[in-house]
Amino acid sequence: MSEVGTEVKILVIDEQEVSAHAGQTILEVARENDIHIPTLCYLEGLSNVGACRLCLVEIKGSSKLTPACVTTVQEGMEVSTNSERLTRHRRTILELLFAERNHICSVCVANGHCELQSLGQELGLTHVRLPYRNPDLPVDASHERFTADHNRCILCTRCVRVCAEIEGAHVWDVMGRGVNCTIITDLHEEWGKSTCTRCGKCVQVCPTGALFDKSKIGSEHPKYPDFLPFLNMMREAQ
Amino acid sequence: MSQTITIDPVTRLEGHGKITIHLNDQGKVENAYFHVTQVRGFERFSEGRPFYEMPSLMARICGICPVSHLIASAKACEAIMSVRIPHTAAQLRRMLNLAQMVQSHALSFFYLASPDLLLGMESDPKVRNLLGLAAAKPELGRAGVGLRRFGQSMIELLGSKRVHPGWVVPGGVTEPLSAEKRDKILAMLPEAYAGIGLALDAYKQIADNFKKEIEVFANFPSNYLSLINEDESIAFTDGALRLIDANGATIEDGMTATRFTEVIGEAVEPYSYTKFAYYKPLGYPDGSYRVGPLARLNIVKQMGTRRAEKELLEFKQLAAGPVASSFHYHHARLVEILYGIEKIEEILTDPLILDTHVRATAGVNRLEGAGQAEAPRGVLHHHYKVDDDGKMIWSNLVIATGQNNNAMNRGVLQVARNYIRDGKFTEGILNRVEAVVRTFDPCLSCSSHALGQMPLHISLVSADGDELDRIARG
């Protein structure tokens, strides 16, 4: 959610001339113009953190790759969202995600409805060239309705943001650094004993099978994160 | 000089194993072993997972009988939840399990066993397979493929996937049956009936050609174990276990899944990764028993469907008491296919079959639960322990192949002793050693819950331990 101004900026994305409001991000403008940029941590209705780096784009005149979700548009900018270099980087990021924890699609509740899995397919990921870390991670099944399986978490922090920004409960947060990073409830208490309001928004926005509804085991478990922009719109209208 | 024959891998089995035959100085068979040579560790890596994930996790043990694992596992989970599943869910599961039994038996009979039966034990090994059978007896080849397709298509219609459907869950099933799917299944029945009719006729015609094999194919008195309904009819997903002795007298009846753990032990032999199940009060190996189609038909008093009932009566004529030769597993399998198709038809006419109440929900209400079902190849038992959050802390699976393990080993020895003379043997003789194992239709991957590959080997070992001959395939 960026602060959008009234001033109009003209820029080029993938050789297509587009107009945007000042303050809009490259990703927002690209989506408005049906230009696809892959994302994982981004979700319409939540703040942007630029955590997953999948939305990296090339900007003419800069040797660096820039995350489209947190970069605001500039007049005359020339953006490229698709190149061999970008695909290579995006695929490597996915391989790192798959190698980091234990993603076993065949027995995962999110199989067929997983954003990580879909991106793997979209980017033609057939192998992971890195050795799997196979970490021994816990499953928190203490909650009456939901389960958190840290094996499948990609640390996108959507759950943390939706809980703090939309539900206003801020039960979820991140603990640790680097490879030891993990999402926690309250001050690292069990989810079932936390101050969770049981609204289930975190489950709906989780892109993988890391947070899931216990009653959905064995069945299709699609997630419905599209409620967020509407929720925001209704709140603003009040 | 003594010697050892190794058959490695044993072919036309589900999974990978080898056979060794040990000869003494006079060239006589001293001993013979059937080795299961793989390890998998499902019991270990399910630790820490939520119990309600177990059915879909455990189904991955096997691609042939995932439904049996789904059902035994779901029943163990329901014991933990302390729920009784809705009537329609139970009927739908019964039907799914029967569909799997039909396709698995069709695989065993047509794809794996019938090349020996219909082309001959001594026939050219190059054409002694399904393709050779299809060339020689095209109608039977088609019937076999058709029956497998029938079972697999039904599983796909009900569970949306042919292998490892996720439809069976603790508490019931996820989706009710639609009228459209019911009608599709009904439309498949006539072809299935025709296929099994053809197979039964063909089998009865050739059975007499195998008098010698019938005499020595694991033909010995033993105990038998299977599920049975209260009305003494055949059961696959219901009822309780009954153990009978070689004369047909009941040793123990009404064995629930909880009781199973108390009375069935598992022995370990150094030459195989598959355990050897036995009835504890009789000890090992006296308490060994056979399971599967032969055991089921020996134990039940009625099938409960019209045409299969007639076939059961005919089957029971094979012997005065329980039918002891494992060769007759093939016959029993065909009778069960017929029963399966009839029962599916009966279930589809249940007025409540389209009911939408198909799932009971509950949390953890007990910290331990066990479930049992009849897999195509015999009794399957799942036993779980969980913590207060429902996370798995311990599990044990007892698989049909482990329960038949002792009988299979005795069968291999019996066949080897009867056919191998003065250390001399032919390819056809070794094929018979493999064929006796095939009668049990063992699933080696299930039995060791193991990872990896296991094509079968046969080796001939001398008394000095030297390997004299070896047949390896795979």
| pLDDT value of residue B471 | 67
B56 in A contact zone (CB under 8 Å): yes
Are residues B11 and B439 in contact, defined by beta-carbon separation less than 8 angstroms?
A: no
Q: Average pLDDT for residues A55-63, to the nearest whole number? A: 96
Nearest CA in chain B to A109: B53
The distance from CA B439 to its chain's CA centroid, rounded to whole angstroms, is: 10
Q: What distance in Å separates the CA atoms of residue A214 and residue B81, rounded to the nearest whole number? A: 13
Class of domain A8-82: alpha beta
Q: What distance in Å separates the CA atoms of residue B452 and residue B37, rounded to the nearest whole number? A: 9
In the beta sheet, which residues pair with residue B255?
Answer: B241
Q: What distance in Å separates the CA atoms of residue B409 and residue B295, rounded to the nearest whole number? A: 17
Decide if B177 is inside a domain. yes
| pLDDT value of residue A203 | 97
Decide if B103 is inside a domain. yes
Put simply, the answer to whether A215 touches B361 (Cβ < 8 Å) is yes
Indicate if the alpha-carbon torsion angle A176, A177, A182, A184 is positive or negative: positive
pTM: 0.88
Query: What is the extent of the structural domain holding B145?
Result: 39-405
**Of the candidates A163, A235, A160, which has an alpha carbon nearest to the alpha carbon of residue A197?**
A163
Put simply, the answer to whether B50 touches A217 (Cβ < 8 Å) is yes
Decide if B293 is inside a domain. yes
| pLDDT value of residue A181 | 95
pLDDT digits (tens, 9 = 90+) for A144-169: 999 999 999 999 999 999 999 999 99
Which of B53, B70, B81, B160 best tests the A interface by mutation, with the highest count of A CBs <10 A?
Answer: B53
Confidence band for A13, pLDDT divided at 50, 70 and 90:
very high
- CATH code, B150: 1.10.645.10
Decide if B341 is inside a domain. yes
Name A94's Cβ contacts closer than 8 Å, sequence gap at least 6: A54, A116, A119, A120, A123, A125
| pLDDT value of residue B434 | 87
Identity of the amino acid at B441: D
pLDDT digits (tens, 9 = 90+) for A61-87: 999 999 999 999 999 999 999 999 999
| pLDDT value of residue B43 | 82
Kindly list the residues from chain A whose CB atom is less than 8 angstroms away from the CB atom of residue B48: 138-139
| pLDDT value of residue B452 | 33
Domains in chain B: how many in total? 1
Phi, psi of B49 (to 5 degrees): -85, 150
User: Angle between the B66-81 and B87-106 helix axes, to the nearest 10 degrees?
Assistant: 150
Kindly list the residues from chain B whose CB atom is less than 8 angstroms away from the CB atom of residue A150: none
Put simply, the answer to whether B53 touches A217 (Cβ < 8 Å) is yes
Kindly list the residues from chain A whose CB atom is less than 8 angstroms away from the CB atom of residue B62: none
Distance from CA of A139 to the nearest CA of B (A): 7
- A166-172: Cβ within 8 A, 24+ apart: A166/A45, A166/A46, A166/A201, A166/A228, A166/A231, A166/A232, A167/A197, A167/A199, A167/A201, A169/A195, A169/A196, A169/A197, A169/A199, A171/A195, A171/A196, A171/A197, A172/A202
Q: Which residue has the tokens 């309600």?
A: B52
Q: Which helix (H) or strand (E) holds B21?
A: strand B17-23
Q: Average pLDDT for residues A175-195, to the nearest whole number? A: 96
Which of A108, A109, A139, A221 best tests the B interface by mutation, with the highest count of B CBs <10 A?
Answer: A139
Put simply, the answer to whether A141 touches B390 (Cβ < 8 Å) is yes
Count CB atoms within 10 A of the CB of residue A192: 16
Are residues B379 and B242 in contact, defined by beta-carbon separation less than 8 angstroms?
A: no
Angle at the Cα of A94 from the Cα atoms of A122 and A2, rounded to 5 degrees: 85
| pLDDT value of residue B472 | 62
Decide if B451 is inside a domain. no
Which pair of tokens denotes residue B324?
């002891």
Cβ-based contacts under 8 A for chains A and B: 43
Which of A104, A105, A106, A107 best tests the B interface by mutation, with the highest count of B CBs <10 A?
Answer: A107
Put simply, the answer to whether B391 touches A192 (Cβ < 8 Å) is no
Decide if B373 is inside a domain. yes
Nearest CA in chain B to A216: B174
Domain A94-219 in the same topology as domain A8-82? no
Put simply, the answer to whether A218 touches B169 (Cβ < 8 Å) is yes
Q: Distance of CA B64 to CAs B16, B105, B297, Å?
A: 14, 10, 22
Q: B171-197: buried (b, 16+ CB within 10 Å) or exposed (e) per residue?
A: bbbbbbbeeebbeebeebeebbbebbe
User: How high is the ipTM of this complex?
Assistant: 0.82
Q: Over chain A, what is the mean pLDDT?
A: 93
Q: What distance in Å separates the CA atoms of residue B92 and residue B71, rounded to the nearest whole number? A: 11
Which of B158, B174, B367 best tests the A interface by mutation, with the highest count of A CBs <10 A?
Answer: B174
Instruction: Among B48, B166, B389, select the one facing A142 at the smallest CB separation.
Output: B389
Nearest CA in chain B to A150: B49
Q: How many residues does chain B have?
A: 474
Q: Distance of CA B281 to CAs B142, B264, B278, B371, Å?
A: 47, 9, 9, 22
B57 in A contact zone (CB under 8 Å): yes
Decide if B274 is inside a domain. yes
B391 in A contact zone (CB under 8 Å): yes
Instruction: Among B49, B50, B166, select the one facing A219 at the smallest CB separation.
Output: B166
Q: Which helix (H) or strand (E) holds A152?
A: none
Put simply, the answer to whether A217 touches B52 (Cβ < 8 Å) is yes
In chain B, which stretches have pLDDT less than 70?
1, 12-13, 37-39, 445-458, 471-474
| pLDDT value of residue A233 | 87
Name B100's Cβ contacts closer than 8 Å, sequence gap at least 6: B65, B66, B67, B68, B151, B155, B376
Q: Which fold has domain A94-219?
A: Alpha-Beta Plaits (3.30.70)
Are residues B110 and B133 in contact, defined by beta-carbon separation less than 8 angstroms?
A: yes
B55 in A contact zone (CB under 8 Å): yes
Name the DSSP letter for residue A72: B
Which of B389, B391, B392, B451 best tests the A interface by mutation, with the highest count of A CBs <10 A?
Answer: B389
Kindly list the residues from chain B whose CB atom is less than 8 angstroms away from the CB atom of residue A138: 48
Name the DSSP letter for residue A171: -
Name A182's Cβ contacts closer than 8 Å, sequence gap at least 6: A137, A150, A153, A155, A174, A175, A176
Kindly list the residues from chain B whose CB atom is less than 8 angstroms away from the CB atom of residue A142: 389
Decide if B10 is inside a domain. no
Q: Average pLDDT for residues A110-126, to the nearest whole number? A: 94
Q: What distance in Å separates the CA atoms of residue A72 and residue A24, rounded to the nearest whole number? A: 5
| pLDDT value of residue B450 | 33
Q: What distance in Å separates the CA atoms of residue A230 and residue B7, rounded to the nearest whole number? A: 68
Put simply, the answer to whether A106 touches B164 (Cβ < 8 Å) is yes
Angle at the Cα of B162 from the Cα atoms of B158 and B165, rounded to 5 degrees: 65
